[in-house]
Amino acid sequence: MRLTAEARLVQNPAVGALALWAFVTQFIESHHAHRGPALPLCLPVLPLALNYDASTALHARRFEGGLELALVENRAIVAGLQDRMVLMTDQTMRALDLAFASKILDYDAASGELISCRKTPPFTAAENSDVRKIVATARRLGHWFAVMQIARVLSLLSIRIG
């Protein structure tokens, strides 16, 4: 049986690693103290960025206020997100393992934060519009998670972490 293009993207740890790199890099850039996200904050990234409906609704939003407006317009974005997050934890961990192994991300055990090891993308997604959309969604999530109170983000997304 042939996998659909969407299924191949969702099951591709390299795409997940790229999305997590984009999330972490944007989080650090947008955070006023230039700190990295704690590891648990990565858990909702792939379930949102790799979900066609959520990514379509989020990838082109403005950085300022975009998450809240998107959720007002489409509450379905977060429908089942907690369950998807639990189901995709292994996939998120495999993507993080690949990101660490390829040295695009690192983990600072002392602070409990993820660190981006490079400013430029590890490879270009220009040839694939689906991958570009996933990366754009992850970048926006990184910005929103950095500038909003984490309790507010978790409330908006109707999820629990930890």
How confident is the model over 122-157, as pLDDT tens digits?
766 556 788 899 999 999 999 999 999 999 999 999
DSSP structure string for 21-76: HHHHHHHHHHSTT-PPPBGGGGTTHHHHHTSHHHHHHHTTS-TTTHHHHHHHH-GG
Q: Is the pLDDT of residue 92 over 80?
A: yes
> For the chain, which residues make up each domain, given as ranges?
5-157
| The dihedral sign for the CA sequence 31, 14, 126, 45 | negative
